[in-house]
Amino acid sequence: MPAPRRALTALLTAGGASALAALGLACTTLTAQAVSGGGYDPAQQGCSKTADRNDRPQSTEKGCHNATLQVNQGSGDYRSTWHVLSINSDQLPNGQSPHSGSVAVDPGRGTRYVVAFDTGTGRFILVAPLNVALDMASWAAGGFQGPPPLPAQVLGTPGTPSASLAQHDAKERNAVDGAGNQQVYFGADDNLNNGEHDAVNPSDYGGLDRKVSNGPSDGGALQVNTHVQGSARDPQSLVAKNVDPTDMHNPLRAADAGTGACADGICAGADTAHRRAYKGGCTSCADQSVYNDQNSTNWRSPDCSSGDTASQNKCGANWKNGQEQGNIYQPWSERGAYYTDPGVFVYEDPDPQASPITSGTVPYPICELYAGTEGVWVCSNNVVPSPGVGVAVVSGATHRVSGNGPGVATHVNAVLPPNQAPTAPASPLAPLAQVLPPLPVPVPVLGK
């Protein structure tokens, strides 16, 4: 679909998803434990990375969900976790609106109960009702030409509603096991938009594009996790192992929460911990923050995306000179891992699957924004230092570094010559005068 319409659809769908997630979190009584934002993961949606491949728009995978709300317990990866409750909407072939799903409950007694339901193929469930209002408004503004743009699913013949109950063997569980590791997760992607299939065609470019596949182009999630450490018999361990105010990446280790989404090249979200947002194919590239990537996204042509196979081959670095031909595998192989930090942020999606809607309308790449434990960043400039910044002497050079907990690599913000002390700028906001006038701040768009 046209980029502006696609971005708006992603925004509205993500907005509905966030509201449902918030409702799910509010209703639960449990203490709680990408391509995309907020920790979205196609595996946790029950999907392979190529489930929404653009060359097979009618394909679906059994157990794959375009939206899921889950309550999980236990440490380890998702597959080994106890899935106490999940409410799911099934993946769709292109052209269908959501109509089927399931509710699964595992009380830990050796049996998992699954209620599958279907309102009938063709019966319309309004995921993003404002989409219909926008279509009708556009029709009215055009002088009511032609028939009203009602969704095809409303006009189609509904199928027969159905529901069934099935029982499956499951592992017996002790409620105490993993009680300190719990999770509430809500994830949704743009397959909700009438079965959109916009993930990479893994067969293209001699099969190398399979490595680029990481789920649909747009998605988002909201999650809350607990991972309490220590022992009640040693009260000091409960503090020492669960709270570290000097760790700017993860000050509250006992729990974390994050939400975020991406749509058409723009990502926004909030987090309480250091979390990986994206991983490209470069193994020698240093890890970097999503909010400090202002220059390295200049390579991306506005036509580069995973919307269809042709767009996967419009990712050349010389696009500004009219030479946009180049496979999506190349930019993917030049990108490493990107992380969020505790705070709020808006940034350019580093994933070459994204289609940058902003190009041609506002300066590109967008001015990335961040405010949190690592200070304030505007357009890749650290305008307000992190409150955890200190001074350490390493090998004769003075480094300004942020506080870090065990296992977290130190972020070096500046390296000064030997015997020279760091000097603070006259005003921490001084760089704003240089970067803001030519680079207007974009409006955050939610949606991978």
pLDDT, residue 110, reads: 95
116 occurs within a structural domain? yes
66 occurs within a structural domain? yes
pLDDT, residue 170, reads: 94
Dist. CA 332–CA 314, nearest whole Å: 13
pLDDT, residue 443, reads: 35
Q: Name the amino acid, one letter, at 373.
A: T
Nearest CA to 343 among 268, 287, 293?
A: 268
CA angle 45, 50, 52 (to 5 degrees): 75
State both tokens at 397: 């050079």
Q: What is the pLDDT of residues 287-323, one digit of tens each?
A: 889 998 755 666 667 788 898 999 999 988 888 888 8
Burial of 392 from C-beta contacts in 10 A (0-12 / 13-18 / 19+): exposed
80 occurs within a structural domain? yes
Q: Name the amino acid, one letter, at 411.
A: H
Dist. CA 90–CA 51, nearest whole Å: 12
Dist. CA 285–CA 292, nearest whole Å: 14
Nearest CA to 215 among 65, 329, 335?
A: 65
pLDDT, residue 271, reads: 94
63 occurs within a structural domain? yes
pLDDT, residue 364, reads: 63
Q: Give a three-class secondary structure readout of the chain.
A: CCHHHHHHHHHHHHHHHHHHHHHHHHHCCCCCCCCCCCCCCCCCCCCCCCCCECCCCCCCCCCCEEEEEEEEECCCCHHHCEEEEEEEEECCCCCCCCCEEEEEECCCEEEEEEEEEECCCCCCCCCCHHHHHHHHHHHHHCCCCCCCCCCHHHHCCCCCCEEEEEEEEEEECCCCCCCCEEEEEEEEEHHHCCCCCCECCCCCHHHHHHHCCCCCCCEEEEEEEEECCCECCEHHHHHHCCECCCCCCCCECCEEEEEEEEECCEEEEEECCCEEEEECCCCCCCCEECCCCCCCCCCCCCCCCCCCCCHHHECCCEHHHCECCECCHHHHHCCCEEEECCEEEEEECCCCCCCCCCCCCCCCCCCCEEEECCEEEECCEEEECCCCCEEEEECCEEEEECCCCCCCCCCEEEEECCCCCCCCCCCCCCCHHHHCCCCCCCCCCCCC
pLDDT, residue 166, reads: 97
- Strands 65-73 and 82-90 come out as antiparallel
Half-sphere exposure of 108 (CA within 13 A, CB side): 14
- How many domains does the structure of the chain reveal? 1
Which range of residues forms the domain containing residue 25?
3-261
55 occurs within a structural domain? yes
210 occurs within a structural domain? yes
416 occurs within a structural domain? no
Half-sphere exposure of 306 (CA within 13 A, CB side): 39
Segments in the chain below pLDDT 50:
1-34, 391-448
Nearest CA to 403 among 422, 389, 382?
A: 389
CA angle 160, 166, 171 (to 5 degrees): 150
Nearest CA to 374 among 249, 290, 275, 272?
A: 249
160 occurs within a structural domain? yes
State both tokens at 387: 């409150």
C-beta pairs of 433-438 under 8 Å, 24+ apart in sequence? 435/367, 435/378, 435/379, 435/381, 436/367, 436/378, 436/379, 438/363
pLDDT, residue 73, reads: 94
Name 77's Cβ contacts closer than 8 Å, sequence gap at least 6.
Answer: none
pLDDT, residue 152, reads: 56
Q: Name the amino acid, one letter, at 379.
A: C
For helices 3-27 and 129-141, what crossing angle results, to 10°? 150
pLDDT, residue 389, reads: 61
pTM, two decimal places:
0.75
pLDDT, residue 405, reads: 31
Nearest CA to 367 among 383, 343, 355?
A: 383
pLDDT, residue 17, reads: 42
Nearest CA to 333 among 267, 284, 262, 276?
A: 284
pLDDT, residue 447, reads: 36
